[in-house]
Amino acid sequence: MLYVCLKLSATFSAIKTRFFSVEGFNFFSIFWKDYGFKKFADPRFYITEILDKQAIDSGCIDSVYLLTIPKALGWGFNPISFWLCFDLQGALRIVLAEVNNTFNERHGYLCFNPKMEPITRLTTISQPKVFHVSPFCQVRGHYDFKFDINEANMKIDIDYFDEGERLISTAIHGEIIKFNDRNLAAYFLSLPFITFKVLFFIHFHAFRLWFKKIPFRPTPKKPDIDIT
């Protein structure tokens, strides 16, 4: 799976490629309407505004990146994106994980240490599950988030627990490579297929659970708040 990591202060000025666009159709592209919980034009200001509303001091944040799956020829499904906030020393301090379900709904989980210490590979941040994703899992239990991101590699683990039992493990692991035409072209032919594959297996595994007579739960009402 191809993820792109965009430094928001450089989103428009530092991207030197013919194959990728922000707010424009291309082989690969992102559109701000696919992110957040209200319309915005400046993503950096949008994240700062969220932190202020959550009473989180954003003074330690020096740079913000968006880690996301781009659309291919204007099409794609993005299960989760991450807004990564780093301090002046390059330490990860805050992560906003935006989760999308197949019902066109979105929720954000805000991850940080209580005393705003850096998030390291040894840090586990727990968040209660409040957002419906699968009709075969109730909206209860909690997620454990782990982030290990450096200049060479990325590793994000999200485990879902219910009544003390780990039910789902999600991992995003990969090498960070240069953002250029050559590398984008190498992924272009595979990305539409991979996106289709993600959607196919979401529904395929749902069918398997239904066939095994695992209880099916109707879609509950979305939480009143967009970010927890």
Average pLDDT per block of 10 residues along the chain, 228 residues long: 85 77 91 93 92 89 94 85 96 97 92 94 97 82 96 94 89 92 80 60 57 61 90
Alpha-carbon span 102 to 205, nearest angstrom: 14
Alpha helices (runs of H) in the chain, residue ranges in sequence order: 43-53, 181-188, 190-211
In a domain, 141, yes or no: no
In a domain, 45, yes or no: yes
Phi then psi for residue 119, to 5 deg, are -85, 115
In a domain, 18, yes or no: yes
- Give residues with Cβ within 8 angstroms of 34, minimum separation 6: 71, 78
Alpha-carbon span 142 to 132, nearest angstrom: 12
Which pLDDT score, from 0 to 100, does residue 41 have?
A: 87
Which pLDDT score, from 0 to 100, does residue 50 have?
A: 94
Give the pTM: 0.88
Which pLDDT score, from 0 to 100, does residue 185 have?
A: 84
Assess contact for 92 and 121: CB atoms under 8 A: no
Taking only Cα atoms into account, the Rg of the chain, rounded to an integer number of angstroms, comes to 18
Total residue count of the chain as it appears in this document: 228
Sign, Cα dihedral of 25, 28, 34, 36: negative
Phi then psi for residue 55, to 5 deg, are 60, 35
In a domain, 145, yes or no: no
- Bridge partners (DSSP) of residue 105 are none
Assess contact for 29 and 74: CB atoms under 8 A: yes
Alpha-carbon span 228 to 225, nearest angstrom: 7
Q: Range of 70's domain? A: 4-116+178-211
In a domain, 133, yes or no: no
In a domain, 158, yes or no: no
CA–centroid distance for 104 within its chain: 15
Report the alpha-carbon angle 189-65-70, nearest 5: 20
In a domain, 140, yes or no: no
Alpha-carbon span 186 to 84, nearest angstrom: 26
Which pLDDT score, from 0 to 100, does residue 78 have?
A: 86
In a domain, 94, yes or no: yes
Count of structural domains, the chain: 1
Tens digit of each residue's pLDDT (9 = 90 or more) over 182-224 = 888 887 766 655 556 666 655 555 555 555 555 556 677 888 8
Which pLDDT score, from 0 to 100, does residue 22 have?
A: 92
Tens digit of each residue's pLDDT (9 = 90 or more) over 194-203 = 556 666 655 5
